[in-house]
Amino acid sequence: MDPETALEYVKHGATLLLLDAPQFTLIGIDTQMFSSGPKFKGIKMIPPGVHFIYYSSSNREGSEFSPIVGFFIDASPSQVIVRKWEKNEELFVKLLEEEEEGYYHAVKRLEFDAQLGPYSLSQYTEWKHLSNYINKATIDRIEPIGGEITVASESKMVGNLPETTMEKALAEQLRTSKFSTHEENSQRRGCYYTRIPKVVKHKGMSGEELTNLNLDKTQLLEGILMKEYGDVEDLLLAELQFAFIAFLMGQSLEAFMQWKLLLSLLFGCTEAPLHTRSRLFTKFVRVIYYQLKYGFQKDRRDEGATDKGVSPLLDESWLSSDSFLHHLCKDFFSLVMEAPVVDGNLLSSTRKLKDLLENSFGWQFHHNSTMHGTYLDEDDEYAPVVEILDDSQLQRYVS
């Protein structure tokens, strides 16, 4: 980029000042990561819109790292966002408004320019594919009190993970010293995600109604869309993207669990994709396509950050054929591709996702004994597990 163009991006893009960052701190924005040097003061040329900032401080040698802390921002053109390192809390904290004003003018005078790393605009399209449904309202609704998302306050969730091969590997990662719990952070509340029941049972339902509700989650999806999202489908997709980013970049266990619940809800529908919500499912499949396409990249380099033990990519254990994702995709592909009538856009997007999983990851999909078929092994780990809800809980989602 020529100097004149770069200067225009500096002037009109947002700037993130990260003052007093300890050397060797790993700092990420969206799909980009940096390792801070002694002169590092932040990031410039940030496009307006939603971004995810995340960081991990190190010991003096740069060999061990603390749990990642992340937060979303909605940047305005020419905005200057200031955070200052608080050593006692090991966090970047906000400044008072009057303090920020002085830094704003200093940035506009280009006093920090030589100490700011440029946002790589070549990766911006990739980020937009991961975050295009998220807006400020999404952030305000879901983010925790204080805004910081960190696995350090989520250690109690580790024991509740299902024990598939992939999830055992994730749990083991979370038990290592890298993700050890800070006592002072243990009382923080997590994000305000929408409650998604896995499956439901109600004593007033007939056997046929119970079977239909648990094997086809369309009714449950409709209830959640109406009650939690005001029937605005894009709000659900925004939460799906929020959870994925917080999980992948922020390494949040809580976010992983929410992402999995949303996938299980949507992939568990049979009526909605083919008849009532084809447009939603077309967009949903595209969201998942870009998430997996990014998450499983093997040749990505992150400005020297990945070789230090932190990478915003999915672990190879996700590629195992016993992962929950493989099972969910297998059933959904069977449903869509064997349907006598299906929306053309949905079919095209589904084929593209299937090709990605088969060609890039070597997954094979055999369409037999699926949840959408006529037989289900009672010992199958992915068979419905009935959760009994009381009248008020059930009424909220399926009335």
**Beta carbons within 8 Å of 113's beta carbon, 6+ residues apart:** 10, 44
pLDDT at 1: 75
pLDDT at 52: 97
Q: Which of 206-210, 295-299, 342-346 has the highest mean pLDDT?
A: 342-346
pLDDT at 383: 46
pLDDT at 362: 83
51-60, 183-192, 236-245, 255-264: least confidently modelled range: 183-192
* 153-398 placed in CATH 1.10.287.130: no
> CB–CB of 383/194 below 8 Å?
no
Q: What is the pLDDT of residues 58-98, one digit of tens each?
A: 877 666 788 899 999 999 999 999 999 998 878 899 988 88
Q: What is the mean pLDDT of the chain?
A: 81
DSSP 256-323: HHHHHHHHHHHHT-SHIIIII-HHHHHHHHHHHHHHHHHHT-SS---TT-GGGT--SS--GGGGSTTS
Q: Which of 65-69, 227-231, 250-254 has the highest mean pLDDT?
A: 227-231
Q: What would the mean pLDDT of 286-310 be, rounded to a whole number?
A: 70
Which numeric CATH code is attached to 3-131? 2.60.34.20
Q: What would the mean pLDDT of 147-156 be, rounded to a whole number?
A: 78
> CB–CB of 83/18 below 8 Å?
yes
Shortest CA distance to 44 belongs to which of 69, 71, 7? 7
For residue 348, pLDDT over 70 is answered with yes
Share of the chain above pLDDT 70, in %: 71
For residue 321, pLDDT over 70 is answered with no
Helix-helix angle 278-295:253-267, to 10 degrees: 140
Q: Is 102 left (phi over 0), alpha (psi -120 to 50) or beta?
A: alpha
* Domain residue ranges in the chain: 3-131, 153-398
pLDDT at 284: 98
